[in-house]
């Protein structure tokens, strides 16, 4: 989700004001409404609800937050109304630490990069020796101009620039593409070791699955005379104004069955 540029700050007299993120300080009190992103790290001092922290933890299931719980920048308020006190801003936020971790990973040199540098260290002198040999031979056999052209040809063709640039460039692109897909790799050494991995174990919801709930079955209690679709219509009607992922799944199932949702008086 796109990071917010402003936040709703509560003043000492209880008024609300839209303040730029750069103006938010530790200790400020903010209001975060349903559907909004948390702009800074903080602690809930009033309210409760579900928060989507997938951008921080990778867990697709929203976490319940209440008074005293920590909330982090980058998370999304699903269905609660929170009053929070700011605890971290700027690079001190958890999201800022993740970004710094990614930057440090790009600067870390993998063993394959150091190997390429060592090879280039021997390769460069060898190329110049070959170039001087070509220059001397063709200058003696043909002409000075021919010797100069042939020596330059050797340098240009055998220049190890690609050897020194291709390896780190490939690693940087790999780290960047992984980050775009929600995968944060600690350093380039870890990325290099992945080529030798033969078995993977996953324990994070949404890693192999979609991370989205779907209605699979409707079970009626014994003695109920309702048709399953009638029950689905009633439940979906009650949940139609909710932003909770489970409520959305129920409403989506009702929509797939072509059910008309009933109006609700209060929510």
Q: Determine the Cα–Cα distance for residues 99 and 96; give it in Å rounded to an integer.
A: 5
Residue 1 has pLDDT above 60, yes or no: no
Q: Mean pLDDT for the chain?
A: 83
Tokens (6 digits) for 60 = 């697709």
CA–CA–CA angle 190, 196, 200 (5° rounding): 80
Residue 3 has pLDDT above 70, yes or no: no
Give SS3 for 52. strand
| pLDDT > 90: percent of the chain | 20
Q: Determine the Cα–Cα distance for residues 178 and 228; give it in Å rounded to an integer.
A: 44
What pLDDT digit, counting tens, does each position of 224-253 carry?
Answer: 778 888 899 999 999 888 877 788 889 999
Given the residues 79, 92, 187, 203, select the one marked as catalytic.
Answer: 203
pLDDT value for 189? 79
pLDDT value for 240? 86
Domains and CATH numbers, the chain: 6-90 (2.70.150.10), 108-196 (no CATH), 212-267 (3.40.1110.10)
- State the pLDDT confidence band at 68, using cuts at 50, 70 and 90: very high
pLDDT value for 158? 75
- For the chain, strand residue ranges (E) read 6-10, 16-20, 29-32, 41-46, 49-52, 63-65, 70-71, 76-77, 82-88
What pLDDT digit, counting tens, does each position of 83-119 carry?
Answer: 999 999 988 888 887 777 777 766 666 676 667 667 7
What pLDDT digit, counting tens, does each position of 14-26 carry?
Answer: 889 999 988 999 9
The C-alpha torsion from 204 through 194 and 191 to 111, rounded to 10°, is 150
What pLDDT digit, counting tens, does each position of 175-193 carry?
Answer: 888 878 777 787 777 888 8
User: Annotated catalytic, 203?
Assistant: yes
């Amino acid at each position: 989700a796109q990071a917010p540029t402003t936040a709703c700050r509560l003043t000492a007299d209880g008024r609300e004001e839209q303040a730029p993120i750069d103006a938010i300080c530790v200790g400020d009190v903010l209001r975060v409404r349903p559907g909004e992103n948390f702009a800074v790290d903080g602690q809930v001092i009033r309210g409760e609800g579900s928060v989507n922290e997938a951008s921080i933890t990778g867990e697709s299931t929203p976490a319940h937050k209440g008074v005293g719980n920590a909330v982090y920048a980058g998370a999304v308020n699903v269905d609660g109304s929170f009053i929070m006190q700011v605890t971290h801003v700027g690079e001190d936020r958890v999201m800022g630490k993740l970004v710094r971790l990614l930057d440090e990973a790009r600067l870390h040199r993998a063993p394959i990069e150091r190997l390429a540098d060592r090879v280039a260290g021997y390769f460069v002198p060898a190329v110049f020796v070959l170039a001087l040999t070509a220059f001397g031979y063709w200058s003696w056999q043909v002409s000075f101009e021919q010797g100069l052209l042939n020596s330059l040809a050797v340098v240009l063709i055998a220049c190890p620039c690609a050897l020194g640039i291709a390896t780190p460039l490939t690693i940087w692109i790999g780290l960047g593409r992984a980050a775009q897909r929600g995968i944060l790799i600690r350093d380039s050494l870890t990325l290099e070791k992945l080529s030798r991995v033969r078995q993977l174990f996953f324990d994070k919801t949404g890693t192999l699955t979609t991370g989205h709930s779907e209605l699979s079955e409707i079970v009626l209690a014994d003695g109920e005379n309702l048709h399953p679709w009638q029950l689905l219509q009633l439940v979906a009607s009650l949940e139609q104004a909710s932003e909770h992922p489970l409520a959305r799944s129920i409403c989506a199932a009702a929509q797939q069955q072509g059910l008309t949702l009933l109006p609700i008086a209060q929510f």
